Amino acid sequence: MLKSNFILVPLYMFPFPGAWDPLLHAAQKHPEINFHAIINPDSGPGQDSCPGPEYSAALANLIAYPNIQTLGYVHTANRWDCGSNSNEICTCSQPLSALRANITRYARWPRAGCSSPVEGMSRGSNTVFFNTGVRTDEAYWRIADHINVFENTAEVFDVNGLSAFTGTGRYASRSTVIINGYEGSVAGLRASVDVLLNRGYKSIAGLYISNHNQPYDRFPEFWEGLVEAVAGFV
């Protein structure tokens, strides 16, 4: 039986040969764990109607595993000159027409006459997944299936304050966190996973923890330890 908790995987690295193998190996070894893999060819699906041949082949490998769900990344900003120093993301600055076009392009991949591996991508659940990375307005929970409510370093993460991000626990079962810059031991990693996934009704749905400060171009060095920690959760 698949566990309800999952590992959220920001699979933003280009699918060079072997680049996505850690995820494939983990999915094969642990069919009881769900993996939600976020695909991001170019801050979205890119401008072409079909993914490139490298992505087509890599996606075919992903969808061969029933415990890997693919999510298409769509950026909701198109400016990065906000904030006091004019170097922050301008939230929700992407025109609605561009957002719709990107979502539609992903949805049409299986039917756009693309290569045969992509034709098998019709399996899906139309999951709506937001990444606010911060405390979220109540209205967003009425739209999304899941929301990533924290995306920051382990240094500033406070599990005791997490309930403020999840509606005092009401939305915990639909919440995820991304913690980067983790410098603790594997034993400490297991303890962190247990704390996040073993909180009763306040347990979150999914997580991703990395030792890298920029965790999206490679898997964490303790990737296997993270997977084993989630697998060992009861």
Task: Please report the pLDDT score of residue 121 as a whole number.
Answer: 54
With a CB cutoff of 8 Å and minimum separation 6, the contacts of 79 are 89, 90, 93
Which candidate, 44, 40, 148, places its Cα nearest to that of 95? 44
CA dist 171 and 203 (Å) reads 9
CB atoms within 10 A of CB 54: 14
Task: Please report the pLDDT score of residue 167 as a whole number.
Answer: 87
With a CB cutoff of 8 Å and minimum separation 6, the contacts of 226 are 7, 189, 193, 209, 220
Helix residue ranges, H only, the chain:
21-29, 53-63, 96-108, 116-119, 138-141, 186-197, 223-231
In a domain, 45, yes or no: yes
Task: Please report the pLDDT score of residue 85 as a whole number.
Answer: 87
With a CB cutoff of 8 Å and minimum separation 6, the contacts of 97 are none
In a domain, 1, yes or no: no
In a domain, 221, yes or no: yes
DSSP 226: H
Q: Which residues of the chain have pLDDT under 50?
A: 1
DSSP 80: -
Backbone phi, then psi, for 76, in 5-degree steps?
A: -100, 10
**Three-state DSSP class for residue 13:** coil
CB atoms within 10 A of CB 98: 14
| Structural domain span for residue 161 | 6-232
Q: What is the pLDDT of residues 166-216, one digit of tens each?
A: 988 899 999 999 999 999 988 999 999 988 988 776 889 999 999 998 878
For 68, the token pair is 């890997």
Domain count, the chain: 1
In a domain, 120, yes or no: yes
Task: Please report the pLDDT score of residue 168 as a whole number.
Answer: 86
* 57: CATH: 3.20.20
In a domain, 101, yes or no: yes
Task: Please report the pLDDT score of residue 113 as a whole number.
Answer: 63
Task: Please report the pLDDT score of residue 44 as a whole number.
Answer: 77
